[in-house]
């Protein structure tokens, strides 16, 4: 029985599906593929477009400033992704779609007996986060998801980027504090001013630590109360984490209800940020049942999500704390984030961050990924289907096999692949 309910999915682009129909069929026949997750590459009708916060044209920088998250010092968090944001017709939807081609792709996959999910976007583009409390952005996503759920015969919406910026962008942890988010905070029972004051006070606490002694403590081991004591941590810091997850949970729960209202047979799910650090991105696994029909633990981004976070946070700690060595800073970050004791690199250099493609060969990838898959099962509601997202290429084959067998043992319900070079040979030039 367990075998029958195991899902095997893959992310594929429109080009690959159209140009290599045999690849899809061979995946189905050779690795048991039953689900294809495709990006939305269709077009939106005028009535949906009319709800875009972009107002029907390419926004200026000043207009984007009003739509994106604000750091607590008042500035828009990061304008580096504005060029990409300008290629959209509204948050997270590309403007150059081809509806007939998208429908043909869905039909091709359905005719092959496969389930078809679409992975539409949401709040973030890498560092940039569209403020999640603005009503206009909420109305836009509701209209877009309604269109996707009702017009194409899809089996599920697998919405991605339903979160704040990734942890490797530390500034992103401290937004959004705009007027609309302050009002949302009040609504949800929080006090924005106190949260910001307590965040600033924790940062001051960091600067008052002695780095050499902190290094000693990190190597001996520290726990929750050490963190509270070391930073003089006040309740507003925890409130900040809770406020952001409450806001994301509230928004997504609304999206799911709307999708279920308009399309009873379409599932609504999202990928989850790696469990050890998911609260930093606004993802609370324990509340996944309030907002999604399935979870996809996104454990494939070992570079962008995990290792770059270690590196950036270690650098940040070194800037903030006097006398803290890089090696000690990394140990603090590993322990604080729950990744200690698995033999992660002692220095930033050892990551070879500039060669992200081969990172999986330099770090204990299976241990790293499995730690988050074990935690995901601890936190997710027991009946929530969970399909971890893994790389089927660029990772050692024995690492992949070990993670898959452990994922089964842990009670996950399938795998969504990103690439299959290690799983099946296929000549894309033929
Ligand atoms: Zn905001």
C-alpha 179 – ligand 1 centre gap (Å):
7
Name the token pair of 388. Answer: 């971890």
What's the gap in Å between 67 CA and the centre of ligand 1? 8
**What spacing in Å lies between the alpha carbon of 85 and ligand 1's midpoint?**
17
**Beta strands 88-90; 93-94: pairing state:** antiparallel
CA–CA gap between residue 382 and residue 378 (Å, rounded)? 8
pLDDT band at 4 (very low <50, low <70, confident <90, very high): low
Q: How far is the CA of 75 from the centre of ligand 1 (A)?
A: 11
Structure confidence at residue 76 (pLDDT): 78
Tokens 């040979």 belong to 425
b/e string for 58-83 if b means 16 or more Cβ within 10 A?
Answer: ebeeeebebbbbbbbeeebbbeebbe
In angstroms, the CA 102 to CA 95 distance is 14
With a CB cutoff of 8 Å and minimum separation 6, the contacts of 344 are 310, 330, 334, 363, 364, 368
DSSP state for residue 11 in the 8-state scheme? E
410: left (phi over 0), alpha (psi -120 to 50) or beta: alpha
Neighbour count for residue 421 (Cβ, 10 Å): 14
Is it the case that residue 168 has pLDDT exceeding 90? Answer: no
Tokens of 345: 């690199």
Distance 177 CA to ligand 1 centre (A): 5
For 341-364, the pLDDT digits (tens) are 999 999 999 999 889 889 999 999
Q: Separation of 301 CA from ligand 1 center, angstroms?
A: 26
Q: What separation in Å is there between the alpha carbon of 192 and the centre of ligand 1? A: 11
For residues 70-85, give the mean pLDDT.
83
Distance, CA 256 to ligand 1 centroid (Å)? 22
Residue 133 C-alpha to ligand 1 middle, in angstroms?
5
Q: Ligand 1 centroid to 132 CA: how many Å?
A: 6
Domains of the chain by start residue, with CATH = 7-168+247-317+360-418 (3.20.20.80)
* Predicted confidence (pLDDT) at residue 136 exceeds the cutoff of 70: yes
CA of 80 to the centre of ligand 1 (A): 18
How far, in Å, is the centroid of ligand 1 from the Cα of 70? 6
Q: Could you identify the residue written with the tokens 């704040």?
A: 164
Partners of residue 390 on adjacent β-strands: 417
Q: How far is the CA of 183 from the centre of ligand 1 (A)?
A: 9
CA dihedral over 68, 73, 75, 81, signed as positive or negative:
negative
Task: Quote the ligand 1 centre to 298 CA distance (angstroms).
Answer: 25
Inter-residue contact 412 to 4 (CB < 8 Å): no
Average pLDDT over residues 233-258: 98
Say yes or no to pLDDT of 2 above 50. Answer: no
Q: What's the CA-to-centroid distance between 90 and ligand 1, angstroms?
A: 17
Residue 3: strand, helix, or coil: coil
- How far, in Å, is the centroid of ligand 1 from the Cα of 396? 41
| Centre of ligand 1 from the C-alpha of residue 49, in Å | 22
What is the mean predicted confidence (pLDDT) over 29-36? 97
Q: What are phi and psi of 309, to 5 degrees?
A: -65, -45
The pair phi, psi for residue 174, each rounded to 5°, is: -115, 30
3-state secondary structure of 95: coil
What distance in angstroms lies between residue 175's CA and the mean position of ligand 1's atoms? Answer: 7
Q: Which of 387, 422, 362, 391 is nearest to 6 (CA)?
A: 387
Mean pLDDT of the chain: 95
Q: Shortest CA distance to 255 belongs to which of 101, 347, 137? A: 137
> Which among 97, 98, 118 is positioned nearest to 106, based on CA atoms?
118
Chain center to CA of 160: 7
The alpha carbon of 399 and the centre of ligand 1 are apart by a number of angstroms equal to 41
pLDDT at 400 over 50: yes
Q: Is the pLDDT of residue 48 over 70?
A: yes
In the reported structure, the alpha carbon of residue 79 is separated from the centroid of ligand 1 by a whole-number distance in angstroms of 15
Q: Does the pLDDT of residue 296 top 90, yes or no?
A: yes
pTM, rounded to two decimals: 0.95
Distance (angstroms) between ligand 1 centre and the Cα of 185 equals 10
| Mean pLDDT within 110-115 | 98
> Stretch 396-407: mean pLDDT, rounded?
97
- 238 CA distance to ligand 1 centroid (A)? 18
The rounded Å distance from CA 69 to ligand 1 centre is 5
């Amino acid at each position: 029985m367990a075998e029958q309910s195991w899902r095997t999915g893959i992310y594929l682009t429109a080009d690959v599906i159209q140009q290599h129909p045999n690849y899809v069929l061979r995946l189905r026949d050779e690795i048991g593929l039953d689900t294809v997750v495709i990006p939305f590459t269709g077009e939106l009708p005028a009535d949906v477009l009319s709800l875009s916060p972009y107002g029907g044209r390419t926004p200026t920088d000043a207009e984007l400033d009003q739509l994106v998250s604000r750091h607590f010092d008042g500035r828009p968090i990061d304008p580096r992704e504005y060029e990409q944001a300008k290629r959209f017709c509204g948050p997270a939807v590309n403007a150059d779609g081809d509806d007939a081609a998208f429908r043909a792709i869905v039909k091709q996959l359905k005719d092959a007996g496969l389930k078809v999910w679409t992975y539409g976007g949401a709040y973030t583009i890498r560092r940039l986060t569209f403020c999640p409390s603005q009503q206009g952005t909420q109305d836009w996503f509701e209209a877009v998801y309604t269109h996707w759920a009702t017009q194409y015969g899809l089996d599920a919406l697998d919405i991605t980027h339903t979160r704040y910026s990734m942890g490797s962008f530390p500034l992103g942890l401290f937004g959004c504090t705009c007027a609309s988010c302050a009002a949302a905070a009040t609504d949800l029972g929080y006090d924005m001013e106190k949260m910001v004051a307590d965040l600033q006070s924790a940062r001051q606490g960091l600067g008052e630590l002695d780095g050499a002694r902190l290094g000693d403590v990190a190597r001996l081991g520290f726990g929750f109360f050490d963190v509270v004591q070391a930073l003089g941590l006040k309740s507003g810091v925890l409130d900040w984490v809770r406020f952001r997850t409450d806001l994301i949970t509230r928004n997504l729960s609304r999206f799911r209800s709307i999708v279920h209202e308009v399309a009873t047979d379409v599932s609504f799910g999202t990928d989850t940020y790696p469990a050890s650090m998911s609260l930093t991105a606004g993802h609370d696994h324990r509340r996944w049942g309030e907002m999604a029909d399935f979870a996809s633990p996104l454990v494939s981004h070992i570079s962008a999500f995990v290792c770059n976070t270690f590196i950036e946070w270690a650098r940040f700690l070194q800037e903030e704390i006097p006398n803290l060595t890089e090696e000690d800073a990394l140990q603090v970050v590993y322990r604080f984030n729950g990744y200690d004791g698995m033999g992660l690199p002692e220095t930033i250099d050892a990551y070879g961050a500039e060669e992200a493609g081969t990172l999986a060969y330099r770090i204990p990838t299976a241990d790293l990924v499995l730690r988050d898959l074990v935690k995901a099962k601890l936190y997710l509601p027991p009946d929530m289907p969970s399909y971890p997202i893994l790389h089927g290429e660029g990772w050692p084959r024995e690492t992949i096999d070990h993670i898959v067998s452990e994922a089964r043992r842990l009670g996950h319900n399938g795998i969504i692949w990103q690439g299959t070079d290690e799983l099946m040979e296929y000549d894309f030039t033929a």
